[in-house]
Structure 1
Amino acid sequence: MASLDPDHLYNVLFVGDSHVGKTSFLYRLHADTFNPHLTATVGRSPPAPLQHGSRFALRLWDSAGQER
């Protein structure tokens, strides 16, 4: 059985003003649904297949939109 561990791990930080939809966008990427009652979250997606049999994982970080 092949390992499900990713070959590469990428950290992606979503930044932007408050209440512009960063969390909704990440939720849509992960669950393919829209939830109008989301609270701020930090999420990540499972590894996804790439060409040539390599795998990668994205760790998606959601900021609060109040950073300066």
Structure 2
Amino acid sequence: ASRACGIEGAIGTHTMRKTFGYHFYQQTKDVAMLQQIFGHSAPSVTLRYIGINDEMIDQILERFSL
């Protein structure tokens, strides 16, 4: 898939899985569903796996208002 898109480098199924997870979460914010898809034991495992960290969460919460 990476070659078809003109992307060079070592991109395997694991990279594609994590990329899918990151974009799925960005579009849906449904960490519970993503946790089920990946078979993880906890939402925190899923968020760490896709690279969502506390700093990113803090930035989102700073912009949130009712």
Same fold per superposition (TM over 0.5): no
- Per residue, is there more strand in 1 or in 2? 1
- Per residue, is there more helix in 1 or in 2? 2
Structure with the bigger RCO (C-alpha within 8 Å, sep 6+) is: 1
